[in-house]
């Protein structure tokens, strides 16, 4: 008989505990609902017709921040690098196809006592050859600047059509900095 009274008391304790937990949860839900209603009421009173105006002001602030920020985005940087690599390839193709330019770079390599012989092209299948073409291109930076800026002074016998074509390949200070990175 004592066991049955202990069982009943433990069962009653368990039920009381479950009821207490359930009541607490109900109380929490009602508190959350009342808080949510208060927030809706207070925010509804403040926002009203000014919603659109506040939203427009926040967007204009973001636009001003973007305009004030002078750092280029990642997309712009990647686009610039691709553009420079394409220009480098075109320049190297031109110098390798033109005898007088190819000879000029061979002589420059001898004059600078370099083990390399002129500019090289990359291979489309091997991705690391882009590094090699850029490395060699940077090695001849001074010569490339001389030949593109004033080709008649470096090569007096060069054709005027080639002078015009070389002038399209002038690399400025920013271009060289991007290639050096």
6 and 59 together in one domain: yes
Are 105 and 125 members of one domain?
yes
How many distinct structural domains can be found in the chain? 2
Q: Is 94's pLDDT higher than 90?
A: yes
Q: Are residues 16 and 101 in the same domain?
A: no
Residues of the chain above pLDDT 70, percent: 59
The boundaries of the domain holding residue 56 are 2-68
Helix and strand counts by DSSP (H, E) for the chain: 9, 0
Neighbours of 147 (CB within 10 A): 23
User: Residues 90, 121: one domain?
Assistant: yes
Q: SS3 for 50?
A: helix
pLDDT tens by residue, 118-151: 898 888 888 889 899 999 999 999 999 999 999 9
Q: Are residues 80 and 162 in the same domain?
A: yes
Do 45 and 63 sit in the same domain of this protein?
yes
Structure tokens at 87: 């220009």
Please tell me the distance from the alpha carbon of residue 46 to that of residue 39, in angstroms, as a whole number: 11
Q: What is the DSSP letter of 72?
A: P
pLDDT greater than 90 at residue 43: no
Which of the listed residues 46, 68, 90 is the one where a domain comes to its end? 68
Residue 177 pLDDT exceeds 50: yes
What's this model's pTM, rounded to 2 decimal places? 0.57
pLDDT of the residue at 84 = 92
Shared domain for 58 and 86, answered yes or no, is no
One domain for residues 8 and 28: yes
């Amino acid at each position: 008989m004592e066991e049955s009274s202990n069982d009943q008391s433990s069962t009653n304790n368990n039920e009381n505990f479950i009821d207490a937990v359930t009541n607490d949860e109900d109380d929490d839900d009602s508190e959350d609902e009342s808080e949510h209603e208060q927030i809706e009421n207070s925010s509804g009173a403040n926002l009203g017709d000014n919603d659109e105006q506040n939203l427009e002001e926040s967007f204009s602030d973001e636009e001003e921040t973007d305009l004030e920020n002078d750092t280029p985005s990642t997309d712009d940087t990647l686009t610039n690098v691709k553009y420079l690599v394409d220009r480098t390839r075109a320049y190297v193709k031109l110098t390798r196809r033109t005898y007088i330019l190819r000879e000029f770079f061979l002589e420059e390599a001898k004059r600078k006592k370099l083990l390399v012989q002129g500019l090289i092209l990359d291979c489309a299948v091997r991705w690391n050859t882009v590094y090699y073409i850029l490395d060699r291109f940077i090695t001849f930076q001074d010569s490339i600047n001389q030949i593109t800026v004033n080709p008649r002074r470096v090569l007096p016998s060069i054709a005027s059509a080639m002078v015009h074509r070389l002038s399209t390949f002038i690399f400025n200070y920013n271009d060289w900095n991007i290639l050096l990175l």
